[in-house]
Copies of this chain bind each other. A is one copy, B any other.
Amino acid sequence: MLGGKPVRAFLLDVTGVLYNTSGNNSGIAIPGSIEAVERLYAESKVKFLSNESTATREGFHEKLTKLGFKLNVEDIITPAPVAAKYVQEHGLHPHLLVHDGVKPEFAHLPETKNSDCVIIGDAEENFTYDTLNDVFHILHGHPERPLLSLGNGKFYQRTDGPCLDVGGFVAGMIYATGCRHIELGKPAPTYFLKAVEALGVTPEEVVMIGDDIHGDVGGAQAVAMRGIQVKTGKWI
């Protein structure tokens, strides 16, 4: 199953691999996963590659710690800080349409009234006709201004049922404005390569473990990593 180059690092998906969502939103650790993380940490390089975009890395770390996982916050990779770094490196001034919980990830960026790009995430109740028009006004007639999205999912499971993810709002904005879209999140190749860079190895030396055959396994394989699908989370 794992033929080829020696495995030097692991990328782990989080939701559906380490824990499952539960009624009270705190989640339930999947049996054996706490010990598995501990063992991988002892033997290899490990990063946690998630599309979580409603919380900061610190908030996400706190949640996982409460569930019993021992991991370092700096080993968590989420789309928001990757997006913040992208706009800084490109000298861009983003307008944000994101979840309140993830806003602190962008607090270090200088404020501006003259935005030249948009960062959009799963904003839940922050998606309104007015906030979507604010985004539209920035992108309309400016094909050079990119729309950066924190993931591009179709929907996800909330405790009250399936809910629209950011992808539909991205598709709508592309339809209305013809804007350039930069996806930051699994399965975008650039996002996987950011994780490889953080691990300091080559893609061929990395194994991605996830529950999503497309987002995790397919995305990893597309950049020459190996991918393993676990039979938890979405698989069930």
Contact = CB atoms under 8 A, between A and B. Distances in A.
A128 interface: yes
Contacts of A130: 125
Nearest to A153: B176
Interface stretch (A62-70, A73-81, A160-168, A223-231): A160-168
Interface string A135-178: 01100100000000000001100000111110111111111110
Interface residues of A, number: 31
Nearest to A155: B176
A175 B154 contact: yes
Given A168-B176, A172-B168, A176-B165, A155 B136 contact: yes
A contacts with B: majority SS: helix
A117 to B, nearest CB: 18
Given A155-B176, A171-B174, A175-B167, A127 B136 contact: no
Contacts of A164: 129, 132-133, 136, 172, 176
A53 to B, nearest CB: 15
Contacts of A169: 172
A58 interface: no
Contacts of A127: 128-129, 132
A105 interface: no
A170 B173 CA distance: 11
11 contacts: A125-B129, A126-B129, A129-B164, A133-B163, A154-B175, A167-B176, A168-B176, A170-B175, A171-B176, A172-B172, A172-B175
